[in-house]
């Protein structure tokens, strides 16, 4: 059975293993993000589990200045894709953003990432902009948003 929940720092080694196994491990220090308590920018990690094994994770930031929520990452284990894991993480983040009274939920991905763009379209997101400077690899970022009110 698939379940999704808010992650704790104990999940971090599994999150990092998932990142490594799926190609492009982050160059950020994720441990720090579990410790920071910043009232202006809150960061939450979420994990999806199947039979006690973490098969996906995601990360959301809540910004106080504009009352918004931003999805930084959604990663599903390559062998577990197209089984609803990404959807369950996205729904959990949306619930969390609503509970925290975010006005809008946003996300960016490269314009050629069809799986991600389709996942967000299917869940009611619409394109709200682009940025061709933000990624180091020179790809264009597409911005997607969903109004929560």
Ligand X SMILES: CC(C)(COP(=O)(O)OP(=O)(O)OC[C@H]1O[C@@H](n2cnc3c(N)ncnc32)[C@H](O)[C@@H]1OP(=O)(O)O)[C@@H](O)C(=O)NCCC(=O)NCCS
First-to-last C-alpha distance (Å) of the chain: 32
Stretch that binds ligand X, among 8-16, 72-80, 98-106, 127-135 (CB under 6 A): 72-80
Nearer Cβ to ligand X (67/87): 87
Rounded Cα distance, 51 and 32, in Å: 28
When asked if residue 82 is in the footprint of ligand X (CB under 6 A), the reply is yes
Rounded Cα distance, 41 and 30, in Å: 15
The one among 2, 42, 84, 111 contacting ligand X by CB under 6 A: 84
Look at residue 32 and give its three-state secondary structure: helix
The one among 5, 20, 101, 122 contacting ligand X by CB under 6 A: 122
The one among 109, 125, 144, 146 contacting ligand X by CB under 6 A: 109
Cα torsion through 135, 94, 69, 127, rounded to 10: 50
When asked if residue 141 is in the footprint of ligand X (CB under 6 A), the reply is no
Q: DSSP letters along 84-104, please?
A: SHHHHHHHHHHHHHHHTT-SE
When asked if residue 76 is in the footprint of ligand X (CB under 6 A), the reply is yes
Looking only at residues 6 through 65 of this chain, which bind ligand X when binding is defined by CB under 6 A?
none
Phi-psi region of 138 (alpha: psi -120 to 50; beta: other; left: phi over 0): left
Stretch that binds ligand X, among 27-35, 80-88, 98-106, 138-146 (CB under 6 A): 80-88
Q: What residues line the site for ligand X (CB under 6 A)? A: 73-76, 81-87, 109, 113-116, 118-119, 122
């Amino acid at each position: 059975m698939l379940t999704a929940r808010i992650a704790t720092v104990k999940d971090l080694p599994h999150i990092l293993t998932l990142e490594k196994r799926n190609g492009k491990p982050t160059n950020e220090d994720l441990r720090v993000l579990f410790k920071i308590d910043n009232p202006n920018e809150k960061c939450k990690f979420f994990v999806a589990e199947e039979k006690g094994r973490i098969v996906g994770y995601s990360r959301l930031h809540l910004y106080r200045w504009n009352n918004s929520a931003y999805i930084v990452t959604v990663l599903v284990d390559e062998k577990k894709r197209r089984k609803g894991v990404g959807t369950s993480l996205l729904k959990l983040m949306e619930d969390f953003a609503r509970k925290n009274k975010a006005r809008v939920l946003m996300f960016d991905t490269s314009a050629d990432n069809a799986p991600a763009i389709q996942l967000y379209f299917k869940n009611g997101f619409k394109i709200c902009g682009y940025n061709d400077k933000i990624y180091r690899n020179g790809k264009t970022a597409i911005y997607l948003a969903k109004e929560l009110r």
